[in-house]
């Protein structure tokens, strides 16, 4: 239950951060001048312009990709958790005990 909450919270945080980055909310400290005298000089060469998303389909494509990525990570973590539970169960019932009472799994070559 806690793992599901953690996965959902991290997915929500990722979506919020992506939305903040796409709106231009994140700026570095170097970009913001402290006083009017420290304004950066205007560059003679034009800055490179990146086109924005044009259609709603393109806008939602990035979010769908992130959602599928997080869903895939969640499924992988779920299956890993099942494998760990199975290994703990096998260890607790002592399936691989030898005659000396030592618990060791068989060695695969």
For residue 65, the enclosing domain spans: 1-27+54-95
Q: Which two tokens stand for residue 34?
A: 């402290």
Contact partners, residue 59, CB within 8 Å, separation at least 6 = 53
* Buried/exposed code over 4-42 (b: 16+ C-beta within 10 A; e: otherwise): eeebeeebeeeeeeeeeeeeeeeeeeeeeeeeeeeeeee
- Which pLDDT score is estimated for 6? 72
For residue 42, tell me if it sits in a domain.
no
Do 104 and 96 form a contact (C-beta atoms < 8 A)? yes
DSSP 29: G
For residue 101, tell me if it sits in a domain.
no
Residue 79 has pLDDT above 80, yes or no: yes
Question: Does the predicted TM-score (pTM) go above 0.85?
Answer: no
**13-55 confidence digits (pLDDT tens):** 777 666 665 555 445 555 555 565 655 555 566 778 777 767 8
For residue 37, tell me if it sits in a domain.
no
Residue 100 has pLDDT above 70, yes or no: no
Domains of the chain: total: 1
């Amino acid at each position: 239950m806690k793992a599901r909450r953690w996965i959902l919270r991290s997915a929500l945080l990722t979506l919020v951060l992506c939305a903040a980055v796409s709106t231009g909310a994140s700026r570095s400290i170097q970009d913001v001048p402290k006083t009017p005298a420290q304004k950066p000089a205007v560059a003679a060469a034009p800055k490179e312009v990146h086109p924005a998303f044009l259609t709603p389909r393109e806008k939602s494509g990035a979010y769908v990709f992130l959602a599928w990525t997080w869903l895939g990570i969640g499924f992988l973590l779920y299956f890993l958790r099942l494998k760990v539970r199975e290994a703990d169960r096998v260890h607790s019932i002592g399936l691989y005990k030898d005659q000396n009472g030592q618990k060791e799994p068989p060695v695969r070559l």
